[in-house]
Amino acid sequence: MNPPLRSRNWLVLSALVASAWLRVAIAASPFGPLYADTAHADLSGLWLVSGGFYFSPDRAIPKLLGEYKATYARRTEAFNKGVAVDDVTADCLPAGMPHLLTVPYPFEIMQTPGRVTFLYEYDSVVRRVPTDGGVVTPDPDKATYHGSSWGRWEGDTLVVETVNVRGDTQLDFTGIPHSDALHITERWRRKDAKTLENTITLTDSKAFAEPFTTTRTYQLKPKWKIAEYVCEENNRNARDEQGRTSGGAPAKLTP
């Protein structure tokens, strides 16, 4: 049996009111596909580093100690000859942290309450940074390529701490070494609507004579999309039997 006309009209009116309310609620909501954390500054979006390749834009390096200074001198000599010495990325292994912060590939930042997630095109890496007040204790036995990270908010700045990074990765493609005692501090803030700034401080009691700080900027790329990255399928810089790679060196380096 069909409902009376008055009942049908009431049902239609209720549906229209509900639909209108939903449209208003959606329009008023500050939440977007990458940003759902109104308690803190919006760092979300798709970003690309400005001037990649070298860890520091001015090509400065940490004050290396002992064996680490000798290692970098050896790598620099080989690098100037176009040989990938100790560079695990040439064999499609992860670049690791903090190298990941300067690779010339885009990444997305997604914010949700209690967590900031970094989604990288390079190596399809995902970094999950909890911001719920937890802290990670350094433990060399738990070292990984990208380490263990935790974060906190200081005003409009996201501070990310990372420890437990493997000691056999490099700071950048030029081969700057570090040890498994590396402690990374990142200070992310939105400099303006289209620019993200990250002040990076590296502390390493084994490899560095003092903390090393550099600042990197990233440009917003709202129309870009993260592409699939499968190094093993199209590795253009693989090392040959002599350890040489087609990557080579873009400019002469000095240790």
Based on C-alpha coordinates, what's the Rg of the chain?
24
Q: Give 68: exposed, middle or buried? Use CB within 10 Å, 0-12, 13-18, 19+.
A: buried
pLDDT greater than 60 at residue 25:
no
Per-residue confidence band for 108, with pLDDT thresholds at 50, 70 and 90 = very high
Expressed in angstroms, the distance from the first to the final Cα of the chain is: 88
**DSSP class of residue 4?**
P
pLDDT in tens, 202-234: 999 999 999 999 999 999 999 999 999 988 776
Judged by average pLDDT, the poorest of 24-28, 63-67, 106-110, 246-250 is: 24-28
Residue 205 has which token pair? 């009691």
- CATH homologous superfamily for the domain 45-233: Calycin beta-barrel core domain (2.40.128.20)
The three-state (H, E, C) secondary structure of 87-142, written as one string: CHHHHCCCCCCCHHHHCCCCEEEEEECCEEEEEECHHHCEEEEECCCCCCCCCHHH
Dihedrals phi, psi of 44, to nearest 5 degrees: -70, 160
Domain ranges of the chain: 45-233
